[in-house]
Amino acid sequence: DMTPISPADRHYLDVWGVAKSFKGTRVMSGMNFRVDRGELVSLLGPSGCGKTTLLRIIAGLMEADDGSVVLGGRDITRQPAHRRNISVVFQSYALFPHLTVAENVAFGLRARGTAKSATAAPVAEALRLVRMSDFADRPIAALSGGQQQRVAVARALVVGPDLLLLDEPFSALDRKLRETMQVELKSLLRDRGITAIFVTHDQEEAMGVSDRIAVMNAGRIEQFADPSTLYARPASPFVMDFVGLSTRLAARVTARDGDLLSLETALGPVRAPGDLAPGSAALLAVRPELVALGQGENTLSVTLEDVMVLGSKTMLHGRAPEGDRILCELPGIRTGLARGETVSLGWAVADTLVYGVDP
């Protein structure tokens, strides 16, 4: 395709038509992925969907079989990794345990040919950014996991990269520290206007750190959108299931009036916006926090299978036909509801998601 790219279509990072096979097995083809300058983006998906492969192709650590990678207007497809000015923070951090913190950070500069005497100032600045100045002379082995991650980030940033890639950067940290480090790193990247791509299989992490999330499935991007669109308007059942929980019920379209569908489920009739033909099989879904106790535009009467008091919320699990799931999330601690009780659950027509299902 020789169509010239118009300026309006020009993106800071432009991955176009990338394909990759391993020993004859295609894991990715026709991959298009574009990121704007200063954006924080996540590649999110289950194990084996191709996140790391895409990241490595962008970094130049792996060669694509086909397609191109353009960064800042320059075609870097054929450039080796060390010529790309892209920094990578690896899952393991890949620090040198026998070197000090400052020596590890200086390594990034030394590897690019900076004279030893010229490393002190940028190293000090990078350590200041990650709040590790007091640890400059410590050996890596004497640091906690969070501190090691800060050093890995300092080493990645010290060279002034055009693009920062992070492969599961928080996975070695416990839950509380992970949240602290996410806030810290995000604010650092924002302040410096750095364009970064995170690889993660944790949807909360992706929602928390990114402007946009590319949800990947089997070597394809199923949806690339900001967190709120992804959550409120998932483009497919895969995306809906991957980002958050939903009530989900098998349904059949009984009538269509404009863009309003009437559907029949095992628990009763429901209405939803959509454009499926009458007779179609469908999957109906609604996010649990949009379901309330009592009547709504859509109302189903369900018997409670379980009531889970989780502290910040209480989750009601309705008894559902096999393969389906009925969830209602109420804010805070709710007492006085018990398993076996029959309740009405209601929600708005506009909050109802419908997907066509191949028969």
Considering Cα of 310, then 184, then 83, then 119, what sign does the dihedral take? negative
d(CA 357, CA 12): 37
- Which strands sit side by side in the sheet containing 342-347, from one edge to the other? 292-293, 342-347, 298-309, 313-318, 326-331
| Shortest CB 192 distance to ligand ATP, Å | 27
- Sequence-distant (6+) residues with CB within 8 A of 241 are 248
Single-letter amino acid code for the residue at 148: Q
Looking at beta carbons only, is 54 or 282 nearer to ligand ATP?
A: 54
Nearer to ligand ATP, 27 or 124 (CB): 27
What are phi and psi for residue 48, nearest 5 degrees? 90, 5
Minimum distance of ligand ATP from residue 75's CB (angstroms) = 23
| Helices and strands in the chain, H and E counts | 8, 20
Pick between residue 20 and residue 248 the one whose CB is nearest to ligand ATP.
Answer: 20
Q: Which stretch binds ligand ATP (CB under 6 A): 40-48, 172-180, 243-251, 254-262?
A: 40-48
Residue nearer to ligand ATP on the CB measure, 201 or 287: 201
Distance CA 261, CA 250 (A): 14
Interface of this chain with ligand ATP, residues 4 to 23, rule: CB under 6 A: 22
Residue positions counted in the chain: 359
User: Residue 68: phi, psi to the nearest 5?
Assistant: -140, 160
Residue 52 interacting with ligand ATP (CB under 6 A): yes
Report the site for ligand ATP in 83-122 (rule: CB under 6 A): none
Q: Of these, 13, 15, 35, 49, which contacts ligand ATP (CB under 6 A)?
A: 49
Q: Which span sits near ligand ATP by CB under 6 A: 48-56, 152-160, 239-247, 310-318?
A: 48-56
- Residue 45 as a binder of ligand ATP (CB under 6 A): the answer is yes
> Site residues (CB under 6 A) for ligand ATP?
22, 27, 45, 47-53, 201
